[in-house]
Structure 1
């Protein structure tokens, strides 16, 4: 396939399907692409890979029970595990994962290769709480210390239609909450995108809003989805605290912002995570780790996809930390093409990473035009080995599947440092230790993202509304 990027129409012709189905594949991450302004562009190699991919028995991993007879003192069940970035962070602090739940075939192979002794299950909707205990090798009386999971985030992402719980993936989120309530772990931790803070319980298309339409109902108000989730957990007796965290504040060499919801069965509210780093050395903390720190000592053997030759021409004119705006002015429109007239800052076009800063948020494909992740000096995207270092996976952690599968898994992962910070917070709570608090610490770029400020902003007070939110799925 000679073209690097395809239109949705071209992809539909290659795959012999409708354009609508191609857009579905893009939204679900089955093929790689990116929305630029109002149109999608599709990575040609991912279409070719999707078309040619047949059932490969070497990649098929069956669900199985835990294979180890020993049981750790602190046991965790992991859902929507991916390639286990969050789980590795927990393990480094002594909380051992004994069951993983994942449906992606490449990620399942990754889990099986690196952690063959833990239980592995597939679609969360196919398992009851009793069956999950059986797979994990736990009796009905045995304690589950922690349940962790990052349900699919596309349903709440600001990049899509934000269907929330009306989206199939949003419904999986609700299944996860129901399982937490039924399995009754001592702690539950839920990780998700920033969009969850503002997602409504029920989405109304923007073209159906305004003076000619009824006012938004309570279900359609901002924050309704998170309010519904937290109320379900509180009704089950769990305390709930949450905040939006930049992983760089916890030692990750990457600026990646995620909502972390922490719940405790004892009803005592858990503290926010304790930062270990800060951008400017606030409170005497070490400065953020940089890309140079992350890649130090990395063997000079890299696997990476290639930029089109046309794009390399412009990269040769850019230095570390620069992007298209640093090209000669007369080349701006030529370099960006039709995207030149699109809105937004477009800082992801022709973006070389800086050595002396953390990496930006890793994406699932490092060579899409609007979110380029180019090496600071070499004329190529980041390699999968560099991706792993930035997400803090051990160099010997095997990521299974094709190169695009590997990029997708690592790009979607939770940085290990964030997992470690979560584990430390839980362990300190179990020990009864008073957490270190840094007043007014900027956990992320945004304000009023902690549960207290968010609740006041959403409801007008800390008291929950008397009227329970309804859940109308369509």
Structure 2
């Protein structure tokens, strides 16, 4: 179900709590809609990016805040949002989460049945990869809100979640229990779940996400955001371009017509999907613009599909932007016979392919991983707008250079988030506390594994 009704704001003053906030994709989305947010993020470098961007942040473990410091969260928060870490569910990972789907569904039932946190935490220790359990945190926060004296036991009004497509069965189970069983205090929600493609919302990248939008009963039926752009289909693109190779285009100097750019769709009123050229060709802020046509060779499948890996031209959307974006090889060409390796994507450019504003202040280490892990802000803005009954977001807001925080603002944000203006403190999580399990515990692949 997508949004077709006239816009009616369901909350007068929305305030978002962003779990697993990363470098700020959903918070930037909120910023573009003038919606305040507070993010919780355990990774130090992602927090440094957030402080530099001027985003309110707690450098903390989501689970620890729920257990030990929930009462310190602002009571006026009424929107719960987030994208739990996807590594154990992603096709790029080892698959521990995908293999544990049925067990996780059982934990969902137990939480809604009122089982104690202590019992569930003890049982969760048996999971092969502890990160698998993080997908339960949004539900545990929703329950905790109804037990919070600081909130007067008031439940969240709206819940917005996104994850890799493999998590869709869990979001559907979330929907079932939220609608039929309700939280332990009796609160029920109306819920919609689906897998959406980000290029259909103007993001210059093919990326599929499992989405859940829930509204507390009495706040109206929720709806998914209506697409604004056509979807991208590689087969149709290649057919019209006369290529038999996946995601290849032989005539690099051909300028696509609107019909070709929107080759996969016939819906009237939708814009053509946005290409990498659309996002990167023009100078903006410190970005000089990539005026020379280029090809990109990816080492990762598009939208989580390994079969879609290959080469794309600047006239196509980017493949799924992951932490490997800095490894994508970019070839520039002067004509059909002269091709050479050009500069790889800068972090600014990688962020723009995710729909982050130009000059977003990527900070700390593993910046490519930060970019790849983030929610595309334009996609996030569509999700929040649909969830809250707001008008379709204006993408031009996110194409303007980002104004970073001043040194004074950044120091204040870090003091609030870490406990000191220029350093982490003992209250900040340690990286060693959340790492992948030893290789001996991970699912094994290949002939040796099959032989066991």
TM-score normalized by structure 1? Answer: 0.55
- Show the 5 A alignment for 1:322-341: none
Change (3 A) 1:323 1:394: closer
- Show the 5 A alignment for 1:352-367: 353-366=312-325
CA distance in 2: counterparts of 1:355 and 1:397, whole angstroms: 22
Change (3 A) 1:347 1:400: same
Task: Show the counterpart of 2:178.
Answer: 233
CA distance in 2: counterparts of 1:238 and 1:345, whole angstroms: 36
Q: Are 2:349 and 1:386 equivalent residues in the alignment?
A: yes
Q: Identify which of 374, 379, 394 aligns with 2:330.
A: 374
**Equivalent pair of 2:17/2:81 in contact (CA under 8 Å):** yes
Runs (5+) with no aligned partner, structure 1? 1-71, 198-222, 304-318, 325-335, 337-343, 436-474
Instruction: Say which structure, 1 or 2, has more relative contact order (CA 8 Å, 6+ apart).
Output: 2
Q: Are 2:89 and 1:149 equivalent residues in the alignment?
A: no
CA distance in 2: counterparts of 1:259 and 1:346, whole angstroms: 20
1:380 Cα deviation (Å)?
3.6
Task: Show the counterpart of 2:143.
Answer: 181
Task: Show the counterpart of 2:208.
Answer: 257
Q: Alpha carbon RMSD of aligned pairs, Å?
A: 3.0
Task: Show the counterpart of 2:53.
Answer: 114
Change (3 A) 1:177 1:300: closer
CA distance in 2: counterparts of 1:360 and 1:168, whole angstroms: 29
1:103 Cα deviation (Å)?
0.7
Task: Show the counterpart of 1:400.
Answer: 363
Change (3 A) 1:119 1:134: farther
1:359 Cα deviation (Å)?
1.1
**Equivalent pair of 1:74/1:94 in contact (CA under 8 Å):** no
Q: Identify which of 239, 244, 260 aligns with 2:195.
A: 244
- Show the 5 A alignment for 1:10-409: 73-97=13-37, 99-115=38-54, 118-128=56-66, 131-136=69-74, 138=75, 142=76, 144-164=77-97, 165=104, 166=127, 167-183=129-145, 184-197=155-168, 223=169, 225-234=170-179, 235-236=182-183, 237-266=188-217, 268-279=220-231, 280=262, 282-298=267-283, 320-321=294-295, 348=309, 351=311, 353-366=312-325, 368=327, 372-374=328-330, 376-377=332-333, 378-402=341-365, 405-409=366-370
**Equivalent pair of 1:252/1:415 in contact (CA under 8 Å):** yes
CA distance in 2: counterparts of 1:283 and 1:419, whole angstroms: 24
Change (3 A) 1:380 1:348: farther
**Equivalent pair of 1:90/1:422 in contact (CA under 8 Å):** no
1:257 Cα deviation (Å)?
0.8
Change (3 A) 1:385 1:230: same
Deviation per residue, 1:54-73 (Å, 9 max, x gap): xxxxxxxxxxxxxxxxxx93
Residues matched between the structures, number: 287
